[in-house]
Amino acid sequence: MKMKLVLAALAAVVLAAPAQAGPREDILQGYATAAKAADPGFKGFDAARGKALYEQQNTASADAPSCSTCHTASPLKAGKTRAGKAIDPMAVSATPDRFTDPAKVEKWFGRNCNTVLGRDCTALEKGDFITYLSSL
């Protein structure tokens, strides 16, 4: 009887563990693998670097010099496209389903990094960006 309880408790722990992982963690794990392949010295993503990327002013596009141009200076607030259409806040705490659909994440990194930076973002930049917006 006692053994059964112990086993039930163990099963509960084992079953609960995967609940902490999720689509956002899977996406970050994929970028971590790619970042490590690009640089064996990769030591993990960094929210401060992600914040710098978010705020950085660039020269590739005159009307979209920064991620914050559309996503606004505060990721906790709603942004706006150049055409004036509302964009939900980028911070995960404000928009919980942010960065949970890999196809959507890749589509918009592709589009927006090329507009703002004039090039693709690296796996390191993508991971830093998501880490920053998950930390707010």
Where along the sequence are the contacts to ligand HEC (CB under 6 A)? 64, 67, 69-71, 81-82, 87-88, 98-99, 101, 104-105, 108-109, 112-113, 115-117, 121, 129
| Residue whose CB is less far from ligand HEC, 42 or 122 | 122
Query: Smallest gap, in angstroms, from Cβ of residue 39 to ligand HEC?
Result: 19
Token digits of residue 101: 């659909």
Is the torsion defined by CA of 25, 30, 33, 35 positive or negative?
negative
Tell me the one-letter amino acid at 100.
Answer: T
| Residue whose CB is less far from ligand HEC, 12 or 56 | 56
| Residue whose CB is less far from ligand HEC, 36 or 58 | 58
Residues comprising the chain, all counted: 136
Residues 127, 34: contact at Cβ < 8 Å? no
